[in-house]
Chain A
């Protein structure tokens, strides 16, 4: 046997261990290289872990992601020159999705930006891109801005409809957060920062905590009857069902956020004002549309179409799959693909080629499985 797919290995670098490495191994995780680290791909099995997260709550170790804090005089103006975000409307305790773009409007990374109580900004960036991101930000930001890499912090995501029940037993006040809000709390005596957000489409939380407390807090949360540890495999199938892009697959310097349907990542004031990398292209694409669009595909039968599979209308190649797999919730293959705008309307019949076979596919609305975020009343 041999896998067709390769993981996101930074092949030249030795793999590093994350704070919870022994914790995962003690729980029977299968570890694989990902983003330069050894990470748990699964514990009991991807489908069981996927379903458990949809029905109860899963604990994900996402400590490979980069946690950065930006602070200093003139912070907002400096950051707005780099990110297409409107910081005038980002209040303390709020989190927002943003994009790191190159001068041509290609995506260097997607990230979360949160406003801390003291006015500084807390960023969560992708693991595989964090070193490049730090370089890009350091180069683009003036010397007055301090960039602090929280490399002694771990990041845990607690996701699922019962995540709030499990967490509230330890941090009652966290239950009052709504989607994309965060705050500082104490968990088992440790200072933590908790955001009500995630990457599964479910309600849930992301908990930033000191690395030395990670094993204790992971044990505490997994001792709750609702919670099991969940690996990267289910994280990927959950985010695919939720229609969320994965950097390096669905997003890259070769894709623009407008093609990807991420216009909400370009905040409204910035669309007219510009003044961020790639603004010319982004604003042109907003006005004129894009030649291709990132769409969901439902695929007939059981054979999954994966990243790299080509999309056809008759003999014409009209697109390419960027993420695809088997949806445990739907019991059918699903995929995300960039397709020519003329063939991107919901309901359009397409074909996807897998190992020389044409599979019938239909452009489908996303998310494939409805989001269940806690937006409050």
Chain B
């Protein structure tokens, strides 16, 4: 299952025609203790680069942008009860939402794991 990364610190796992989206371990470390995650509605159309979710840490609210364009098919209800999953398991149990892939070409412009690693090291 290929995993892609954005320069906004999101990861995207692609399985068949569905993408699972979350934020990276680097991102959660930057945000600090997460106390609330506002997820999009199932059925919402989200557009690459536009607001998709909001992460509230103790300090501030931060936007999470849609990494690709598509329709939200499922959200991670576990985050309602335990938003700290984003801190403890950002690239696993702390996923945000699943979505369709309107344009597979958008994925080609994203980074792979090595590319993202190099990107983070350059920051």
Contact = CB atoms under 8 A, between A and B. Distances in A.
Q: Do A and B come together as binding partners? A: yes
Interface of A: 1-5, 41-42, 45-47, 50, 233, 236-237, 302-304, 306, 325-326, 328, 333, 355
Q: What 9 A-B pairs have minimum CB-CB distances, sorted nearest first?
A: A326-B35, A47-B33, A5-B60, A4-B61, A1-B62, A46-B58, A302-B36, A3-B60, A303-B36
Contacts, number: 64
Contacts of B54: 355
Interface string B55-92: 11111111111000000000000000001000000000
Contacts of B106: none
Contacts of A50: 58
Interface in B16-64: 23, 27, 30-33, 35-36, 38, 54-64
A325 B62 CA distance: 13
A303 B38 CA distance: 8
A232 to B, nearest CB: 9
B113 interface: no
Interface residues of B, number: 24
Contacts of B65: 1
A3 B64 CA distance: 10
17 contacts: A1-B8, A1-B63, A4-B63, A5-B59, A45-B32, A46-B59, A47-B33, A50-B58, A233-B59, A237-B58, A303-B56, A304-B35, A306-B60, A306-B61, A328-B33, A328-B58, A355-B38
Interface centre among B36, B59, B83 (most CB of A within 10 A): B59
Contacts of B83: 302
A343 B61 CA distance: 28
B9 interface: yes
A304 B36 contact: yes
B58 A233 contact: yes
Nearest to B57: A46
A304 B56 contact: yes
B64 to A, nearest CB: 6
Contacts of B64: 1
B55 A1 contact: yes
A1 B31 contact: yes
Contacts of B9: 1
Interface centre among B8, B32, B64, B83 (most CB of A within 10 A): B32
Contacts of B30: 1
B62 A41 contact: no
A325 B32 CA distance: 14
A46 B32 contact: yes
A270 B65 CA distance: 55
A20 B8 CA distance: 32
Contact of A47 (B36, B58, B60): B58
Contacts of B35: 302, 304, 326, 333
A46 B54 CA distance: 19
A4 B60 contact: yes
A268 to B, nearest CB: 39
A303 B61 CA distance: 10
Interface centre among A41, A306, A326 (most CB of B within 10 A): A326
A304 B61 CA distance: 9
A45 B29 CA distance: 9
Interface centre among B27, B30, B33 (most CB of A within 10 A): B33
A325 B59 contact: yes
A267 to B, nearest CB: 36
Contacts of B60: 3-5, 306
A303 B65 CA distance: 19
Contacts of B36: 302-304, 326
Given A45-B32, A46-B32, A46-B33, A1 B23 contact: yes
Contacts of A303: 36, 38, 56
Nearest to B59: A233
Nearest to B33: A47
